[in-house]
Amino acid sequence: MTTAKKNKATFLQIAKAVSWAFFGVRKQSDLDMDASNLTPKQVIIGGLIGAAFFVLTLILLVKLVTN
């Protein structure tokens, strides 16, 4: 039995994967690489941070436009 060492994803890789997921477009090769490097915990935390950033950006944009 061989054990393969799993590469840990960097913060930038997580942010890139989550942002492309929000946009809805991703190359198959990049998707396969993300699936092999990212853990579900990283994706969930990255998604929550990305969603919070998106909502806060929208709130700020609305406040700027309405003032």
Query: What is each CA distance from 25 to 18, 35, 59, in whole angstroms?
Result: 11, 15, 25
Of the listed ranges 2-11, 31-40, 44-53, the least confidently predicted one is 2-11
Q: Does 55 fall in a domain?
A: yes
The verdict on residue 23 lying in a domain is: yes
Q: Could you tell me if residue 3 is inside a domain?
A: no
Q: On the CB side of 19, how many CA atoms lie within 13 Å of its CA?
A: 8
**Structural domain boundaries, residue 26:** 11-66
Overall domain count for the chain: 1
Q: Say if 5 falls within a structural domain.
A: no
In the structure, what pLDDT confidence band is assigned to residue 20 with cuts at 50, 70 and 90?
confident
Residues 40-57 have pLDDT tens digits of 899 899 999 999 999 999
Q: Is residue 48 part of a domain?
A: yes
Judge whether 40 lies within some domain: yes
